[in-house]
């Protein structure tokens, strides 16, 4: 079956979910980014270190990464092996519909974020089960017969159930994670105080380290400066608030922007449209 052609689009076209099977001989370059949906990254082959919120995961075939609508992340792919993966994007609308059955399958994403650990490494039996379900989703989506989309959605539901069960007894593989305690503390402090004025001096004093050392380590583990990260996180949070129907004024003030004109310029630069256009037309 032909593989999907990778594109750097980070916006969903389908209102519920999208499924992709990529395989690149030449590694693509992907910038740090976030998106408005949940992402399941199912790694199959390649040489990849994946950065998520200051942690760098060295991936092994069969690893699964979970990211939500606040996580800033990026894969760093080295040449030498085909870079193959399944990627599944899922919207809140999809989860809202299946929540009527009584199970909230978003829990694995929220647990991963709260524990600040996004890696799932299934055992052999679950790995085979999850790979088989992905193949069934791919086959169903490639079929134009009546009911094929229903079959794909049912396979996705089963995939989410088994994935959630894998998350109930997670194992931590510290040998495959590179992190920095000061950066972790800085990220936690920023996220807890995002609505306040935050300065580099304040962060350095809080961590009892020099500004130079903090800036160097922060850039290495997050791919951006302290200021860039704070701005990006504020914009992401305000974007999610707008999606929930929060008025623009409330959104930018609660995210730490004291001036609407600065917020407007930053928002348009990050997302390509102003907040009111976004609320009217959607992403």
Q: Which domain holds residue 53?
A: 17-176
Domain assignment present for 171:
yes
Verify that 111 and 88 share a domain, yes or no.
Answer: yes
With 70 as the cut, is the pLDDT of residue 186 above it?
Answer: yes
With 80 as the cut, is the pLDDT of residue 277 above it?
Answer: no
Secondary structure (DSSP) of 110-140: HHHHHHT--EE---HHHHHHHHHHHHHHHHH
Mean of the per-residue pLDDT values of the chain: 89
The pLDDT tens digits of the residues spanning 136-172 come to 999 999 999 999 999 999 999 999 999 999 988 767 7
Verify that 106 and 238 share a domain, yes or no.
Answer: no
Verify that 54 and 84 share a domain, yes or no.
Answer: yes
Last residue of a domain, one of 153, 176, 199: 176
Verify that 21 and 127 share a domain, yes or no.
Answer: yes
Reported confidence tier of residue 1, pLDDT bands at 50, 70, 90: low
- Please report the pLDDT score of residue 211 as a whole number: 92
With 60 as the cut, is the pLDDT of residue 64 above it?
Answer: yes
- Please report the pLDDT score of residue 148 as a whole number: 94
Distance CA 109, CA 145 (A): 33
Q: What is the CATH number of the domain that holds 69?
A: 2.60.120.280
Reported confidence tier of residue 2, pLDDT bands at 50, 70, 90: low
Domain assignment present for 226:
yes
State what percent of residues in the chain have pLDDT above 70.
Answer: 96
Verify that 116 and 147 share a domain, yes or no.
Answer: yes
In the chain, the number of structural domains is: 2
Reported confidence tier of residue 76, pLDDT bands at 50, 70, 90: very high
Q: What is the CATH number of the domain that holds 223?
A: 1.10.10.60
In this predicted structure, which of 50-64, 72-86, 87-101, 119-133 has the lowest mean pLDDT?
87-101
Verify that 87 and 133 share a domain, yes or no.
Answer: yes
Verify that 53 and 169 share a domain, yes or no.
Answer: yes
DSSP-assigned beta bridge partners for residue 251: none
With 80 as the cut, is the pLDDT of residue 253 above it?
Answer: yes
pTM for the predicted model, two decimal places: 0.88
Verify that 228 and 111 share a domain, yes or no.
Answer: no
With 70 as the cut, is the pLDDT of residue 27 above it?
Answer: yes
Distance CA 56, CA 119 (A): 10
Verify that 117 and 245 share a domain, yes or no.
Answer: no
Last residue of a domain, one of 132, 157, 176: 176
| Cα separation values, 212 from 56, 209, 218, Å | 21, 8, 10
Question: In what helix (H) or strand (E) does residue 13 lie, and over which residues does it extend?
Answer: none
Who wins on pLDDT, 227 or 271?
A: 227
Last residue of a domain, one of 149, 176, 203: 176
- Please report the pLDDT score of residue 31 as a whole number: 87
Verify that 171 and 235 share a domain, yes or no.
Answer: no
């Amino acid at each position: 079956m032909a593989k999907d052609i990778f594109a750097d689009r980070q916006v969903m076209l389908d209102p519920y979910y999208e499924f992709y099977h990529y395989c690149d001989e030449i590694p693509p370059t992907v910038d740090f980014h976030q998106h408005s949906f949940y992402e399941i990254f199912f790694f199959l082959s390649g040489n990849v270190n994946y950065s998520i919120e200051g942690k760098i995961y060295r991936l092994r075939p069969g690893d699964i990464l979970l990211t939500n609508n606040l996580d800033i992340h990026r894969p760093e792919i080295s040449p030498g092996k085909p870079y193959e993966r399944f990627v599944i994007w899922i919207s809140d609308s999809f989860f809202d519909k299946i929540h009527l059955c009584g199970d909230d399958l978003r829990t694995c994403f929220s647990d991963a974020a709260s524990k600040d650990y996004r890696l799932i490494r299934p055992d052999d039996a679950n790995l085979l089960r999850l790979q088989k379900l992905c193949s069934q989703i791919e086959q169903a989506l490639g079929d134009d017969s009546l009911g094929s989309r229903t079959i794909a959605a049912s396979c996705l539901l089963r995939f989410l159930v088994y994935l959630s069960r894998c998350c109930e007894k997670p194992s931590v593989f510290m040998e495959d994670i590179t992190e920095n305690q000061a950066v972790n503390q800085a990220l936690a402090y920023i996220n807890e105080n995002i609505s306040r004025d935050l300065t580099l001096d304040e962060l350095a004093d809080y961590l009892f380290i020099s500004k130079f050392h903090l800036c160097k380590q922060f850039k290495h583990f997050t791919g951006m400066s302290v200021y860039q990260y704070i701005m990006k996180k504020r914009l992401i949070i305000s974007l999610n608030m707008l999606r929930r129907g929060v008025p623009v004024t409330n959104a930018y003030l609660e995210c730490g922007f004291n001036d609407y004109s600065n917020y407007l310029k930053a928002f348009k630069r990050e997302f390509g449209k102003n907040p009111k256009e976004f609320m009217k037309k959607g992403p």
